[in-house]
Amino acid sequence: MPTNRTHDPARRSWVESANVAECDFSLQNLPFGVFSTEDEGPRCGVALGDRIVDLAVLEKASLVRAGGAAAGAAVFDRAELNGFMALGPSAWGSVRAELSDLFDANNDRLRNNASLRDRALVPMDGATMHLPFFVRSYTDFYASREHATNVGTMFRGADKALPPNWLHVPIGYNGRASTVVVSGTEVTRPRGQSLEVGAERPAFGPSTRLDIELELGAVVGTGTALGQTVTVAEADEMIFGYVLLNDWSARDIQKWEYQPLGPFQGKAFATTVSPWVVTREALAPFRVAAPDRVEPLLPYLHEPGPNNFDIHLEVDIAPRGGAPTTVSRSNAKHLYYSSAQQLAHHASSGCAMCTGDLLGSGTISGPDKGSYGSLLELTWGGKEPLALPGGETRTFLEDGDTAVLRGWSQGEGFRVGFGRCTGTIAAAR
């Protein structure tokens, strides 16, 4: 349900490309990112249709005013969103409302100022996108019951698929912030230690079971002090927005190393995120309830309202020089634990949460094979290869393959989308 005027499905923009129903970047979306052009370095922007709104230009012209700007500090003429995110929900909502009004079809304040308008609207195809925020820390969860059940069935058998704690606690591990990269960054095939089937001793070499993971990443906007805990409702308010996230996985390395402490080198080599952060407020009309609980959750994980989102998700695989094939269609509503629950649990020990922390949902899989979010599941451990155009098949990724994640929530005549989250596999060094 719409919660304020920025959600009005009837609103249209004078930037005509934003009014196409299938355009990810509608006036109802206004996602934040960081971009550069040939003549100017990285600064903050907002996607609108096929244009990037240069927030640094609008800030200098006093057309957007984030909290703290009265002190003279530039919030948007920076190479990351952290300064803006740290200002909190009031500032986020204020800037979103100002932008929604400024680009409304009935507002000619900027539209009729040709000089300022041309400087403030940058063609998207002429810009370079950057990692939108400084990743302070990265944590990856395991929040899809379908995914956990599938993987557990393959590794431990159907009768022991879910660990005994899974239905009670959001399981996660601390990943590597240093290897989080923006969409379009090449991913080098990792080397590592693994144990081949039938071998008595491990060997070291390039991974032969390189996989994708279809995930949603929550971006923490405001943090907590060491020792502080938060409710699920408070955790939800701390989340600035969401990105598509591909937590590339070397399944052969992971399988050998993960017991007893969990993933390490099998995950540490790369995590790709989409360049646009879709705000929590933009997704508000698409909130849905979590799946039914199998076991009652402890009180600190109780949700006062729906915290999942109806976000349609797709994965394409394209071989070098070949056409893409959609191999998975899923939805973020399948997550058993919401991002707000994940964040509340993360802080429940008193762990300090920081502006720029990134929380991966874990692989999002649906109830049927076509909605599984990893090649491990889609090919059932490599036993059932996927067919690609031209007679090619895949069990896991080969050098030159490109994986593309897409996601969007569809409104009445408008879309709130993330754009593309892509990566191409380069040979091991």
d(CA 344, CA 337): 11
Q: What is the dihedral of CA 306, 334, 222, 70, to 10 degrees?
A: -80
- Residue 220 in contact with residue 135, Cβ under 8 Å? no
In the set 7, 147, 334, 346, the catalytic residue is 147
Token pair of 102 as six digits:
């400024």
Distance of CA 250 to CAs 198, 255, 356, Å? 19, 9, 26
Token pair 């989308």 in the structure block, residue: 417
Annotated catalytic residue 147: yes
Could you report how far apart the first and last alpha carbons of the chain are, in Å? 50
Q: Produce one character per residue of 240-262: b if its CB has 16 or more CB atoms within 10 Å, e if not.
A: bbbbbbbbbbbbbbbbbbeeeeb
Contact present, 127 and 33 (Cβ < 8 Å): no
As annotated, the active-site residues are 147
